[in-house]
Amino acid sequence: MASCLDLGYDTAMMTDDALLSCLRAALPDAVVSVIDRTGTRDHFQLHVVSAAFEGKNLLDRNRLIYQALREPMADGRIHAVELRAHTPEEAARQAND
């Protein structure tokens, strides 16, 4: 099975493109914003918007994201992740608030 990281990305650090590749492999419609929390490319804040979150509670949404990032988390490229996961409707409501 191909890895979401089999695209020639630097194996020592996670780029935004590598993160997006992993997330979109699991959540093809995902709209993702990435913030590098420390400047070291291993602590991230992610806001993920996907219709795949419809009907899922917060824990199940986070599980989907962690599953998508399992490989870079297991090998240490990602050390910490702060997550926000919304459906498109929830994200639209927040944008209007």
What tens digit of pLDDT does each residue of 19-50 get? 999 999 999 999 999 999 999 999 999 999 99
What pTM was estimated for this model as a whole? 0.88
**CA dist., res. 13 & res. 70, Å (int):** 15
What homologous superfamily is domain 29-96 in, according to CATH?
BolA-like (3.30.300.90)
Q: Which residues contact 80 (CB under 8 A, 6 or more apart)?
A: 37, 42, 43, 44
Instruction: Return the domain boundaries, the chain.
Output: 29-96
- What 3-state class would DSSP assign to 7? coil
Inform me whether the pLDDT recorded for 8 exceeds 60.
Answer: no
